[in-house]
Structure 1
Amino acid sequence: MTHGQPDTLDLQDPGQAAFSTAPLAEQKVTWLELFFDLIFVVAFDQLSKRLGDSPGLENIAEFGLMFTAVWWAWAGNTMLAARYGNETRAYQWGTVAQLISMAMLALTLRGDLHDTGFAFALAYFANRALQVVMDLAIGQELPGGAPFARRTGLAVLVVALAWLISVWLPPGSTVQIGVWCAALLVDLLIPVVVQRRLGSDLGSLPHGEHLPERIGLLQIIAMGAIVTEVVGGSRQQALSFVTLFPALSAIVLTVGLWRLYFDQARTLPLLGAHLQGQLSRMLAWLYAHLPFTLSIIVLGVGLGHGISAVDAKKDAVNQQFVAWPLSAALLTLVFLRWNSKRVTGRRGPDRSLLAMWAGALAAAALGFLDLDTGQLHGLAAALTVVVSLVVATDPVTRRLGQIEEKVTEQLSEDSATDDADQPGSARTDATSANPPTNSDTRNS
Structure 2
Amino acid sequence: MTHGEPDTIDIQEHEASSRAGAPAHSDQKVTWLELFFDLIFVVAFDQLAKRLGDSPHLENLGEFGLMFTAVWWAWAGNTMLAARYGNETRAYRWGTVAQLVSMGMLALTLRGDLKDTGLAFALAYGANRVLQVVIHFALAREVPGGAPFAQQTSAPLALAAGVWLVSAWLPGGSTLQILLWCAALLADLIIPAVVQARVGNGHSSLPHEGHLPERVGLLQIIALGAIVTEVVNGSRQQALSLVTLAPALSAILLTVALWRLYFDQARTLPLLGAHLEGQVQRMQAWLYGHLPFTLSVVMLGVGLGHGLSAVDAKKDALNQQFVAWPLAATLLTLSFLRWNSRRVARRHGLDRSLIALWVGALGSAALGFVDLDTVRLHGLVAAITVVVSVIVATDPVTRRLGELEEEVTEQLDEGEAPETIAQELDAQSDETSANPPTNSNTRSS
TM-score (norm 2): 0.88
* Aligned counterpart, 1:357: 358
The yes-or-no answer on 1:234 pairing with 2:201 is: no
CA root-mean-square deviation: 1.8
- Would the aligned equivalents of 2:118 and 2:173 in 1 still touch at CA under 8 Å? yes
Greater alpha carbon shift after TM alignment, 165-174 vs 222-231: 165-174
Tell me how far 1:152 sits from its aligned partner. 1.2
Q: Give the CA deviation at 1:279.
A: 0.3
In the alignment, the residues of structure 1 paired with residue 40 and residue 162 of structure 2 have an alpha-carbon distance, to the nearest angstrom, of: 25
Q: Which residue of 2 aligns with 1:50?
A: 51
The whole-number CA distance in structure 2 between the counterparts of 1:19 and 1:351 is 38
Q: CA deviation at 1:171?
A: 1.1
Partner of residue 277, structure 2: 276
> Corresponding residue for 1:180?
181
Q: Could you tell me how far apart the structure 1 residues matched to 2:60 and 2:193 are?
A: 30
Q: Which residue of 1 aligns with 2:152?
A: 151
Within 1, Cα distance between the matches of 2:195 and 2:331? 31
Q: What is the distance in 2 between the residues matched to 1:129 and 1:252?
A: 42
CA offsets per residue over residues 284-307 of structure 1, 9 Å max, x none? 000000000000000000000000
SS of the aligned residue for 1:101 comes to helix
In the other structure, the counterpart of 2:133 is 132
Cα drift, residue 27 of structure 1: 0.9
Q: Which residue of 2 is the match for residue 425 of structure 1?
A: none
Q: Work out whether residues 162 and 179 of structure 1, in 8 Å CA contact, stay in contact via their aligned partners in 2.
A: yes
- What's the CA shift for 1:22? 5.2
The one of the two structures with greater contact order (alpha-carbon pairs below 8 A, sep at least 6) is: 1
Q: Distance between the aligned counterparts of 1:197 and 1:3, measured in 2?
A: 36
Partner of 1:390: 391
Matches of 2:140 and 2:158, distance apart in 1 = 15
What does 1:135-284 correspond to in 2, within 5 Å? 135-199=136-200, 203-284=204-285
Shift of residue 77, structure 1, vs aligned partner = 0.3
Instruction: Give aligned pairs, total.
Output: 403
- What does residue 83 of structure 1 align with? 84
For 2:11, the equivalent position in structure 1 comes to: none
In the TM superposition, residue 203 of structure 1 has moved relative to its aligned partner by 3.1
Residue identity in the other structure for 1:97: A
What is aligned with 1:96? 97
Q: Tell me the residue number matched to 1:35.
A: 36
- Which segments of 5 or more consecutive residues in structure 2 lack a partner in the other structure? 5-18, 417-445
8 A Cα contact 1:212 1:267, kept in partner: yes
Shift of 1:204: 2.1
| CA distances 1:204-237 after superposition (whole Å, capped 9, x unpaired) | 2111110000000000000000000000000000
Counterpart Cα distance in 2 of 1:19 and 1:302: 51
Q: Does 1:107 align with 2:105?
A: no
- Sort the Cα spacing of 1:398 and 1:54 in 2 relative to 1 into closer, same or farther, 3 A: same
User: Aligned partners of 1:185, 1:226: CA distance in 2, in Å?
Assistant: 28
Name the stretch that deviates more: 126-135 or 25-34.
Answer: 25-34
Task: Check conservation: 2:234, 2:308, Cα contact below 8 A.
Answer: yes
The 8 Å contact of residues 230 and 305 in structure 2, kept in 1 or not, is answered as yes
Query: What amino acid maps onto 1:102 in structure 2?
Result: M
Q: 1:369 to 1:19 in 2, by over 3 A?
A: farther
In the alignment, is residue 336 of structure 1 matched against residue 337 of structure 2?
A: yes
Whole-Å Cα distance in 1 between the matches of residues 357 and 120 of structure 2? 41
State the alpha-carbon separation in 2 of the partners of residues 19 and 223 from structure 1: 41
Partner of 2:428: none
- Range that drifts further, 21-30 or 51-60: 21-30
Counterpart residue identity of residue 281, structure 2: S
In the alignment, residue 288 of structure 2 is paired with which amino acid?
Y
Structure 1 residues 129 and 80: CA distance shift in structure 2, 3 A:
same
